[in-house]
Structure 1
Amino acid sequence: MLDFRHQTFLVLCECKNYTKAAELLYITQPAVSQHIKYLEEFYGCKLFETSNKKVRLTHQAELLRAFAMTVFSDSKHFKENIQSIQTDKMQFSFGATLTIGEYVMPEILSHLLIKYPEMKIHMSVANTQSLLERLNKGILDFIIVEGMFDKSEYNSTLFSLEKFIPVCASNSEYVNKEVDFKEIIRSRLILRERGSGTREIFENILHKKNYSLHTFQQIIEIGNMAAIKKMVLKGLGITFLFEIAIKQEINNGTLAVIDIPGFSEQREFNFVCLKNSFFLERYIEIYNLFKKAFKEINT
């Protein structure tokens, strides 16, 4: 069983500063050093290297960090779920990125709660990077994200493939005609904040076309999807979003898809949990419940 010294180790891994780690843990700096020295002697290897006042994790520390995060996360999950083994009494905390949290999960969760009214569910909505940090700290059991992440560091399963499309107001000059990508760069671009999956995806698309965000004459950053859609609807700019997030507006004619020849982008929504988790089988069960509900809703 991992002890308090491993908690100290994880905090130091996060902040890479002995003084800061001591402050965060409400202990002295010598105590932090003693905890790390104990672990280095216990495991028989160096965990941190210090040069020019900078703390760097060794390869062995990276391995221990991944192991410790998984163990602490599983311990928390086990404590919360030891009395809720049955599917209908399951409880879990998970995170979803904004598009998924607002436009995919509400119907899925409603579907499940009607079928399993005793389920206890907590969903956090944030950008991809924030969710990965909370997953690593054991705050969340799993996450569903549209953004990019290192798949080699996590256990991930494809949840769905979704179209990523350019969008404008229904009365825009771009409606009902083919528009060259070079034409739209003179438009005001309204997009999500840094760290969001939607923005990262769009920046990668631009990079593939040898463009960057600086190519656009004006950029507005908004952290709220509804606000982005409202601004585009009023003709204040264009945006790029997942089709699933604007299906209703396209159907009722308030927003329109910009027809850019050759522009056909799909991106993954991924179900992600920590590698080698003791609860992987349980998480896959939840994944299957989500997938089944998603399929039933969309057929």
Structure 2
Amino acid sequence: MIDTRIVSFLTLIECKSYTKAAQQLHLTQPAISHQIRQLEEEFQVKIFHKSKKSLILTPEGEILEKYAHRMMSVYNSTHQALEDAKNHLRRFVIATTPTAGEYYIPQLLAAYCSEHSDVRINLITDSINNIYNKLKLYEADFAIIDGRLTSDRYHSILLDTDYLCLIISPKHPLAKRSSVKMSELRDEKFILRSKEAGTREIFESYLESQRDSIRNYRILIETDSLATIKELVMSNMGVSIMSHNACKEDEQKGRLKTIPIMNSTMIREINLVYPKDFQHVDVLLELKKTYSKLH
């Protein structure tokens, strides 16, 4: 059973008030204060800075918070796993990046669950940095990301490869071109993913490899919404750099035009990423097999 002091500690951080935390947990304020003092005595640290106005974690308090979240995650996962075992079910929390989550993965997971009636999946979409954090805190069992593995804490299985290309409106003057040079796009209005997105990182790395810079281009809008980017490009409000797979359907229906960039090396991998202690690698291999059937 999870330590009640940990529950009180995390609730206090969430509520930012001893009074509100006590109300939420149906405890008295002195009881919450006593539990925090017990944690401080056990670990020989100060958890919060002394401040009458706000609760600010000390560096040691931040470490405790990180591991407290991990403890809660493991506890909740254990509870769910035992419940699933009673019902002969296997449940997985899968984290995915926006591009993969919107265009590659839903069909794959639906097909896999149809073939395996004992599997239940909870799919969460987040940025690549947050996904690695969820894996570290055991808040996700494994991840499907559009990008390469960047940490030696995990293993990966290559699911597919894709490439980044220019996307424009069919009404754009470049729409009839079979390819384009980046130097021809200096005056275009770009609508791009945010700086934290894997697509943006690959694009900027490519520019640097060509002794170019993102600063040489006009960025009109930055957003994490792929739908917003495509909608604006379809309306001929600007151009973008995007995964080719993410635009296939729109191109087939004549809503967008994709154009390869000359001398581009913007190859993008789609990977299954999992912690080294993950116990169900067979599931990942089955997912890869299912993906191959669909493509």
TM-score range, shorter chain: 0.7 to 0.9
Tell me how far 1:101 sits from its aligned partner.
1.3
Tell me how far 1:47 sits from its aligned partner.
6.4
Q: Distance in 2 between matches of 1:206 and 1:30?
A: 58
- Alpha-carbon spacing, 1:4–1:86, altered in 2? closer, same or farther (3 Å): closer
- Alpha-carbon spacing, 1:268–1:6, altered in 2? closer, same or farther (3 Å): farther
* C-alpha RMSD over aligned residues: 4.0
Corresponding residue to 2:279 among 247, 257, 281 = 281
Tell me how far 1:245 sits from its aligned partner.
0.8
Contact 2:18 2:33 in 1 (8 A): no
Tell me how far 1:141 sits from its aligned partner.
3.8
Letter in 2 for 1:294: Y
Tell me how far 1:106 sits from its aligned partner.
1.8
Letter in 2 for 1:296: K
Q: Distance in 2 between matches of 1:86 and 1:268?
A: 38
- Alpha-carbon spacing, 1:49–1:269, altered in 2? closer, same or farther (3 Å): farther
Q: Gapped runs of 5+ residues in structure 1?
A: none
Q: Distance in 2 between matches of 1:180 and 1:41?
A: 64
Contact 1:148 1:201 in 2 (8 A): no
**What residue number does 2:244 align with?**
243
- Alpha-carbon spacing, 1:221–1:234, altered in 2? closer, same or farther (3 Å): same
Letter in 1 for 2:213: Y
Q: Please give the residue correspondences for 1:1-299 in structure 2 after superposition, counting only pairs within 5 Å.
A: 2-8=2-8, 20=16, 22=18, 25-26=21-22, 34-43=34-43, 45-46=44-45, 48=47, 50=49, 55-58=57-60, 62=63, 67-85=67-85, 89-129=89-129, 131=131, 140-146=140-146, 151=151, 155-160=154-159, 161-174=161-174, 175-176=176-177, 178-193=179-194, 195-206=196-207, 209-212=211-214, 214-251=215-252, 254-272=255-273, 280-282=278-280, 284-298=281-295
The more displaced of 19-28 and 259-268 is 19-28
- Alpha-carbon spacing, 1:78–1:51, altered in 2? closer, same or farther (3 Å): closer
Q: Gapped runs of 5+ residues in structure 2?
A: none
Q: Deviations over 1:134-168 (max 9, x none)?
A: 6566654443233688625x535244343222222
Letter in 1 for 2:154: N
Q: Distance in 2 between matches of 1:77 and 1:37?
A: 28
Letter in 2 for 1:46: V
Q: Distance in 1 between matches of 2:17 and 2:272?
A: 32
Q: Distance in 1 between matches of 2:45 and 2:10?
A: 15
Q: Distance in 2 between matches of 1:10 and 1:93?
A: 22
**Normalization by structure 1: what TM-score?**
0.72
Q: Distance in 2 between matches of 1:93 and 1:31?
A: 35
- Alpha-carbon spacing, 1:236–1:133, altered in 2? closer, same or farther (3 Å): same
Contact 1:181 1:260 in 2 (8 A): yes
Q: Distance in 1 between matches of 2:286 and 2:243?
A: 23
**Normalization by structure 2: what TM-score?**
0.73
Q: Distance in 1 between matches of 2:109 and 2:243?
A: 20
Contact 1:73 1:141 in 2 (8 A): no
Letter in 2 for 1:57: P
Contact 1:148 1:200 in 2 (8 A): no
- Indicate the structure (1 or 2) with the bigger Cα radius of gyration: 2
Identity %: 23
Contact 1:73 1:139 in 2 (8 A): yes
SS at match of 1:220: strand
SS at match of 2:236: coil
Contact 1:81 1:91 in 2 (8 A): yes
Q: Deviations over 1:104-137 (max 9, x none)?
A: 1122122112212343222233444555566566
- Alpha-carbon spacing, 1:31–1:133, altered in 2? closer, same or farther (3 Å): farther
Tell me how far 1:68 sits from its aligned partner.
4.3
- Alpha-carbon spacing, 1:199–1:24, altered in 2? closer, same or farther (3 Å): farther
Q: Distance in 2 between matches of 1:276 and 1:67?
A: 19
